[in-house]
Amino acid sequence: MYYIAEVDKGICSAKNCHLCTTYCPETNCINYSEKDKSAYISVDRCKACEICVYICRDVAKNDAIKMKWVEELDEGFMIKKSGIILR
Ligand code: SF4
Ligand code: SF4
């Protein structure tokens, strides 16, 4: 059971601020997709500290990141013995 940050791409792509990517304490956890014009979370690296939620909501004033149970992520996931991967 994991609690994970998830970016709303619709909100994020309209803002294009990149702020959260500089504050996540986990290396290569929040990256930026030029294709989607949005930040995205690497599920297997997120430690659920919620710093990105605070940065996006209270500093950037965009409120594009929510915490979700991993089973409820919009883009889905698969659990294998070696870890969690996106499908
Ligand atoms: S802080 Fe929010 S709006 Fe800015 S890049 Fe991150 S998720 Fe997108
Ligand atoms: S909850 Fe913490 S570890 Fe997870 S993406 Fe946000 S800042 Fe990074």
Q: 41 CB under 6 A from ligand 1?
A: no
51-73 exposure pattern, b = at least 16 Cβ within 10 A, e = fewer: bbbebbeeebebebbeeeebeeb
Q: Express each pLDDT in 12-28 by its tens digit.
A: 999 989 999 999 999 99
What range does the domain containing 12 cover? 3-85
Q: 4 CB under 6 A from ligand 1?
A: no
- Confidence (pLDDT) at 71: 81
- Confidence (pLDDT) at 86: 54
Number of structural domains (the chain) is: 1
- Confidence (pLDDT) at 73: 82
CATH code for position 61: 3.30.70.20
Smallest CA-to-CA distance from 5 within 45, 46, 37, 44 is with: 46
State yes or no: pLDDT of 39 exceeds 60: yes
CA 41 from centroid of its chain's CA atoms: 3
**Nearest residue CA, atom 3 of ligand 1?**
12
Q: 62 CB under 6 A from ligand 1?
A: yes
- Confidence (pLDDT) at 7: 95
Q: Largest Cα–Cα distance in the chain?
A: 39
Q: Express each pLDDT in 58-87 by its tens digit.
A: 999 999 999 999 888 877 665 555 555 554
State yes or no: pLDDT of 56 exceeds 70: yes
Which atom of ligand 2 has the smallest separation from the CA of 30? 5
CA of 28 to the centre of ligand 2 (A): 10
